[in-house]
Structure 1
Amino acid sequence: MIDIATRVWNHTWKIDPIVRSLLDTDFYKLLMCQSVLRNRPDVRVTFELINRSPDIRLAELIDEGELREQLDHVRTLRLTRGESTWLRGNTFYGKRQMFRPDFMEWFEALRLPPYHLERRGGQFRLSFEGPWPEVMLWEIPALAIIMELRSRAVLKGMGRFELQVLYARAMTRVWEKGERLRRIPGLRLADFGTRRRHGFLWQDWCVQAMIEALGEKFIGTSNCLIAKRRDLEAIGTNAHELPMVYAALADTDEDLREAPYRVLADWQEEHDGNLLVILPDTYGTRPFLERAPAWLAKWTGIRVDSGDPVENTELAIRWWESHGEDPRRKLIVFSDGLDVPEIEALHARFADHVRLTYGWGTLLTNDFAGLAGDALAPFSLVCKAVAANGRPTVKLSDNPEKAMGPPGEVERYKRIFGLGEQARRAVRV
């Protein structure tokens, strides 16, 4: 096992580049990329870094030259032969050759496109513009780099023994969480912590800890590189990015209303089984389900990623029942800012009513709150598609604190999708 404290003490990124591989990304990005390459390869998008915690003044913490070095390093990466073999020959979700030969040939030749970086008012403005299939693969590396450089900036001021104690306390915290989770009967939990992790080595340690602590209750990781190294299931389906871009391309109000369902119709042409999981909250879960075509009720499950998880799960159960489906055969994937107390409460509430899976993210792979004062506390950072073919994208969410887009477009989308008043919930991470 790697001595993380010693590696941090050495703090030389030539030994530990933050992003080591194009596989150091979430599985759903590759699944979505294959779909985009097939269905919308000519769309041009812009992605931007969005710091939802503006009190964290990233440009005052992180050295711009070091950030550029890390971003430039990512642009040198290409799939290795072993990585390509893993993607081409592995079985994912019980399916051989998940990735089509044409996609693999494209991915094997890929180098990520250029980036644009500038400083504004204590923050970095980091953006990427170009063909959608290429630009979308910047999201996870960009977030991982910013998050780890912030961690490294704080840790540089610590002594060798202080680092050993810090990581010993953090390891104890993770292990104690695992011990609590192990007591939950029928638990199915995966690591979703790549985007806002403390660092790659730490995420890998947390995954190994959960393998030992939870056994078969730990079902895999969203991180492709760690899944490959640890012989785990790579976990993931799709994200808000798809309906956001499809919606931005709509020419009429009716096209806009239908955009989230066109995304899923395209998805269904490629996938089946446990990959048929609906993410309904981009423009509000309630209006999505009220207008959803009947064929979507046959899908395997729903991911709950914003709003009140109890309310949205009860809404999903009623929707399935209204279509003659047995909710006990359906899957709910919880993935919004989870930690042990929320997992325990949700499992106690719903385990007898629906199949449950938990995507445990930042509070698995970056829970250092209070271990170095507030200096290492996790914060909310995202990298989102903000434009498609020159048109702004919009996300409404079930939590208005997560909404994004020009105010006028946000109001237009609310009107078109019939989204009423919403309760605000604090965005933890």
Structure 2
Amino acid sequence: MVDIASRVWNHKWKIDPIVRSLIDTDFYKLLMCQSVFRNKPGTQVTFSLINRSKHIPLADLIDEGELREQLDHIRSLSLSRGESTWLRGNTFYGKRQMFRPDFMEWFEGLRLPPYHLERKGDQYELTFEGSWPEVMLWEIPALAVLMELRSRAVLDRMGRFELQVLYARGMTRVWEKIEALREIPDLSIADFGTRRRHSFLWQDWCVQAMQEGLGDAFTGTSNCKIAMSREVEAIGTNAHELPMVYAALAKDDAALAQAPYDVLQDWHDEHEGNLRIILPDTYGTKGFLDNAPDWLAGWTGIRVDSGDPAVAAQTAIDWWKSRGEDPSEKRVIFSDGLDVAKIKELHQQFAGKVKASFGWGTLLTNDFRGLVPDDALAPFSLVCKAVKANGSPTVKLSDNPNKAMGPQSEIDRYKRVFGVGDQAAQKVIV
């Protein structure tokens, strides 16, 4: 096992590039990329870094030269033979050859496109432009780089023994959480912590701790590289990016209203079983389900990623019942800002009503709250989103208005088209 504190103290960052592989990314990115490669390959998009936590002055903390060095390193990466073999030959969700030969040939030849980086005050403006299948693969590594460079900036001020104690405390915290989770009967939980992790080495350690501490209750990780190296399941389906871009491409209000279902029709044609998970909150969960075609009720389950998770889960249960489906046979994946107390609460509330699963993210892989002065390692909310598609702005409404994004005039239009009324604001944890 890697001695993380010693590795950090030695400051030999050349042997620790932040992103080590094109598959050091979330599994759903690759699944979505294949779908986009098949259905919308010519779409031109712009992705942009968005720091929701404005009190974190990233440009003051992170040296621009170091940031460029890490981003340039990512542009030099390509699939290794072993990674290609794993993607081509492994079984994912019980399906062999998940990735088609034409997609794999394209992916094997891919280098990520250029980036644009500019300092604006105490923040960085970081954008990526080009064809959707290429540009979308920047999202996760870009976030991982910014998060880890911020961590390194704080760690660089610490002494050798400070680092040893910090990581000992961090490991103890993770293990105590795992011990608490052991008390939950029939738990199903996965690591979803790549995008806002403390570091690659720390995420890898957390996954190993989950493997040992939780056994079969630990179902896998969203990180493809770690899944491959630790021989666990790669977990993931799809994200808000798909409906956001499809909606931006809509020519009129009628097409806009249909766009979220067009996404899932394309997905339906490509995948089956446990990959058929609905993410309904992009433009409001209740309206999405109320207007959903009947065939969607037959899908495996939903993922809850904003708003009050208990409300969203109950809305889904009521919807399944209204469509003649048995909710106890459906899976609900909770994935928004989870930590042990919330996981316990939701499991107790919905055990037996649905098959409850949990995607545990930032508060697994980046919880150093209160462990350094000024709480300088506390996690914060950083995202990288598609902001334009073929020149049109994208919009996300969410079930939490604090997560909404897009021009206000377009937000108002989307609220009208999708019938979104007043929403209860929730604190954005990460």
| CA distance, structure 2, for counterparts of residue 276 and residue 11 of structure 1 | 44
| CA distance, structure 1, for counterparts of residue 390 and residue 249 of structure 2 | 7
Give the aligned partner of residue 91 of structure 1.
91
What amino acid maps onto 1:413 in structure 2?
Y
Give the aligned partner of residue 192 of structure 1.
192
Range 166-175 or range 367-376, more displaced = 367-376
| CA distance, structure 1, for counterparts of residue 132 and residue 352 of structure 2 | 41
Give the aligned partner of residue 116 of structure 1.
116
Give the aligned partner of residue 312 of structure 1.
312
Give the aligned partner of residue 383 of structure 1.
384
Q: Secondary structure at the match of 2:25?
A: coil
Give the aligned partner of residue 371 of structure 2.
371
User: Structure 1 residue 361 and structure 2 residue 335: aligned?
Assistant: no
Q: Secondary structure at the match of 2:119?
A: strand
Q: Secondary structure at the match of 1:190?
A: strand
User: After superposition, what is the alpha-carbon deviation per residue over 1:172-202, rounded to whole angstroms, capped at 9, x for unaligned?
Assistant: 0000000000110000000000000000000
User: After superposition, what is the alpha-carbon deviation per residue over 1:347-367, rounded to whole angstroms, capped at 9, x for unaligned?
Assistant: 000011000110000000000
Write the mapping of 1:278-357 to structure 2, written as runs, cut at 5 A. 278-357=278-357
Q: Secondary structure at the match of 1:14?
A: helix
Runs (4+) of structure 1 exceeding 3 A deviation are: none
What amino acid maps onto 1:390 in structure 2?
G
| CA distance, structure 1, for counterparts of residue 11 and residue 71 of structure 2 | 18
What amino acid maps onto 1:13 in structure 2?
W
User: Structure 1 residue 171 and structure 2 residue 167: aligned?
Assistant: no
Q: Secondary structure at the match of 1:146?
A: helix
CA deviation after TM superposition for structure 1 residue 418, in Å: 0.3
| CA distance, structure 2, for counterparts of residue 11 and residue 71 of structure 1 | 19
User: Structure 1 residue 417 and structure 2 residue 414: aligned?
Assistant: no
| CA distance, structure 2, for counterparts of residue 186 and residue 157 of structure 1 | 43
User: Structure 1 residue 135 and structure 2 residue 154: aligned?
Assistant: no
Equivalenced residue count is 429
| CA distance, structure 2, for counterparts of residue 263 and residue 241 of structure 1 | 10
| CA distance, structure 1, for counterparts of residue 193 and residue 44 of structure 2 | 28
What is the TM-score when the length of structure 2 is the normalising length?
A: 1.00
User: After superposition, what is the alpha-carbon deviation per residue over 1:241-291, rounded to whole angstroms, capped at 9, x for unaligned?
Assistant: 000000000001000000000000000000000000000000000110010
User: Structure 1 residue 428 and structure 2 residue 412: aligned?
Assistant: no
What is the RMSD computed on CA atoms of the aligned residues?
0.4
Give the aligned partner of residue 395 of structure 1.
396
What amino acid maps onto 1:73 in structure 2?
H
Q: Secondary structure at the match of 1:117?
A: strand
What amino acid maps onto 1:377 in structure 2?
A
What amino acid maps onto 1:108 in structure 2?
E
| CA distance, structure 1, for counterparts of residue 311 and residue 146 of structure 2 | 34
Give the aligned partner of residue 408 of structure 2.
407
CA deviation after TM superposition for structure 1 residue 428, in Å: 0.4
Write the mapping of 1:210-289 to structure 2, written as runs, cut at 5 A. 210-289=210-289
What amino acid maps onto 1:386 in structure 2?
V
CA deviation after TM superposition for structure 1 residue 10, in Å: 1.2
User: After superposition, what is the alpha-carbon deviation per residue over 1:41-100, rounded to whole angstroms, capped at 9, x for unaligned?
Assistant: 000000000000000000000000000000000000000000000000000000000000
| CA distance, structure 2, for counterparts of residue 53 and residue 366 of structure 1 | 16
Give the aligned partner of residue 55 of structure 1.
55
- Can you give the 5+ residue segments of structure 2 that lack an aligned partner in the other structure? none
| CA distance, structure 2, for counterparts of residue 90 and residue 222 of structure 1 | 15
Q: Secondary structure at the match of 2:77?
A: coil
| CA distance, structure 2, for counterparts of residue 146 and residue 7 of structure 1 | 19
| CA distance, structure 2, for counterparts of residue 291 and residue 324 of structure 1 | 16
User: Structure 1 residue 69 and structure 2 residue 39: aligned?
Assistant: no
| CA distance, structure 2, for counterparts of residue 406 and residue 11 of structure 1 | 42
CA deviation after TM superposition for structure 1 residue 111, in Å: 0.1
| CA distance, structure 1, for counterparts of residue 11 and residue 429 of structure 2 | 29
- Can you give the 5+ residue segments of structure 1 that lack an aligned partner in the other structure? none
Give the aligned partner of residue 162 of structure 1.
162
Give the aligned partner of residue 152 of structure 1.
152
What amino acid maps onto 1:302 in structure 2?
I
| CA distance, structure 2, for counterparts of residue 26 and residue 337 of structure 1 | 17
CA deviation after TM superposition for structure 1 residue 13, in Å: 1.8
| CA distance, structure 1, for counterparts of residue 126 and residue 141 of structure 2 | 12
Give the aligned partner of residue 81 of structure 2.
81
User: After superposition, what is the alpha-carbon deviation per residue over 1:10-52, rounded to whole angstroms, capped at 9, x for unaligned?
Assistant: 1222110000000100000000000000000000000000000
Give the aligned partner of residue 104 of structure 1.
104
| CA distance, structure 2, for counterparts of residue 266 and residue 33 of structure 1 | 13
| CA distance, structure 2, for counterparts of residue 325 and residue 415 of structure 1 | 30
What amino acid maps onto 1:65 in structure 2?
G
| CA distance, structure 1, for counterparts of residue 311 and residue 189 of structure 2 | 21
Give the aligned partner of residue 39 of structure 2.
39
Q: Secondary structure at the match of 1:176?
A: helix
Seq. identity, %: 75
CA deviation after TM superposition for structure 1 residue 121, in Å: 1.4
Q: Secondary structure at the match of 1:124?
A: strand
| CA distance, structure 1, for counterparts of residue 161 and residue 190 of structure 2 | 32
| CA distance, structure 2, for counterparts of residue 220 and residue 162 of structure 1 | 32
